[in-house]
A and B are shown apart, each in its own frame.
Chain A
Amino acid sequence: DAGVTQSPTHLIKTRGQQVTLRCSPKSGHDTVSWYQQALGQGPQFIFQYYEEEERQRGNFPDRFSGHQFPNYSSELNVNALLLGDSALYLCASSFIGFGGSGEQYFGPGTRLTVT
């Protein structure tokens, strides 16, 4: 059973560019959450997708957008990149069940460097 997968593993972009990160959830999971983790800090919640809709959003600007596809995979898009966007981006999948975020299984992350 494949766990959560993310692509690419590393990415280097220039300020002002746009980036798309991808995530495939663990088999049987229907919910995908995205997090930004700066070095030495805890993951910061960006947003969560369920049934192809954004279910909840953290304190991130509109430059951060996402999408969930019918097969539950998800994309995170970041426009007009800033140096401060450099971080590890983690995707976590879960099964909503009767409510809440449930047990979240994290992917290996995408390390984004903005120069």
Chain B
Amino acid sequence: QQPVQSPQAVILREGEDAVINCSSSKALYSVHWYRQKHGEAPVFLMILLKGGEQKGHEKISASFNEKKQQSSLYLTASQLSYSGTYFCGTEIDNDMRFGAGTRLTVKP
């Protein structure tokens, strides 16, 4: 089953923060986060391999709550370049399932 992402879309002003959530109905092996800009391929952001793990790159970070089967992506002080559709991918038995995506728009 596909993971469920929320919200479906969000509009921000530059400098604002956002949180994107991803939840699964099944126990997860790992959670992947990708960003896709219009007309381009998805780009890998980060992977979380175990419960409690948190990762970050510059002002984008993520957490993985294994018990709740949830992951959240945090975007801090958003930049125009953060605009795109964010997908979480959940891995169960080598089977990758992606959510429907969250469309993030950052305006000046």
Residues of chain A touching chain B, judged by Cβ–Cβ distance below 8 Å, are 33, 35, 41-45, 48, 55-56, 58, 90, 100-109
Contacts and interface: CB of A to CB of B under 8 A. Distances in A.
Contact of B95 (A43, A45, A107): A45
Contacts of B2: 42
A33 B47 contact: no
A101 B100 contact: no
5 contacts: A42-B87, A100-B49, A102-B47, A103-B32, A103-B47
Contacts of B44: 103-106
B94 interface: yes
A106 B43 contact: yes
Main secondary structure of the interface of B (DSSP, over half): strand
A56 B95 contact: yes
Interface of B: 2, 29-30, 32, 34, 40-44, 47, 49, 87, 89, 91, 93-101
B97 A108 contact: no
Contact of B100 (A33, A42, A105): A42
Contacts of B98: 35, 42-45
A39 to B, nearest CB: 11
A44 B89 CA distance: 10
Given A41-B100, A42-B100, A100-B49, A55 B94 contact: yes
B95 to A, nearest CB: 5
A90 B41 contact: yes
A43 B42 contact: yes
